[in-house]
Amino acid sequence: MTLFFFLQLRKPLVEKLRRERINSSIEQLKSLLGPEFLKQQPDSKLEKADILEMTVCFLTQLQQQSQQQRRLLNHFNRLQSSSDKNLREADFSPLSSSVQTSITKDKSPVNSALWRPW
């Protein structure tokens, strides 16, 4: 019977500590997102449910922005990769190598001395 009595006394204490943890966390959320809360409801007292709902909205917006930034970054990386690939292909294309060869021959003093238009 003593153990039962002890557990009955302990239960309200455990519940009180749990509520204190919840309240502390909600206050931390409120302070972290203070400017966001002031924009929404500047003069009203916020209930715990309001704080939690606003936090969910704020985190959802952050998540969406993060996803958009990742999509833009991936798109940019694909464009850059494609551009780099096109530049590498142009360096090795037959046209560019023949143009480079003819330019090299025209500038060479040996080849220009041997060339005779008649």
Q: What is the pLDDT of residue 80?
A: 83
Domain count, the chain: 1
What gap in Å lies between CA 89 and CA 78, rounded to an integer? 16
Residue 16 sits in a domain of what CATH number? 4.10.280
8 belongs to a structural domain: yes
Return left, alpha or beta for 82; rule: phi > 0 is left, psi -120 to 50 is alpha, else beta.
Answer: alpha
Mean pLDDT of 85-99: 60
107 belongs to a structural domain: no
110 belongs to a structural domain: no
Q: What is the pLDDT of residue 19?
A: 97
87 belongs to a structural domain: no
33 belongs to a structural domain: yes
Which residues span the domain enclosing 73?
Answer: 1-80
* pTM listed for this prediction: 0.56
Among 33, 58, 59, smallest CA distance to 46 is for 33
Residues 31-68 pLDDT 10s:
888 776 666 666 677 899 989 998 999 899 999 999 99
41 Cβ neighbours under 8 A, 6+ residues apart: 50
108 belongs to a structural domain: no
Residue 94 DSSP symbol: H
11 belongs to a structural domain: yes
What gap in Å lies between CA 17 and CA 63, rounded to an integer? 32
90 belongs to a structural domain: no
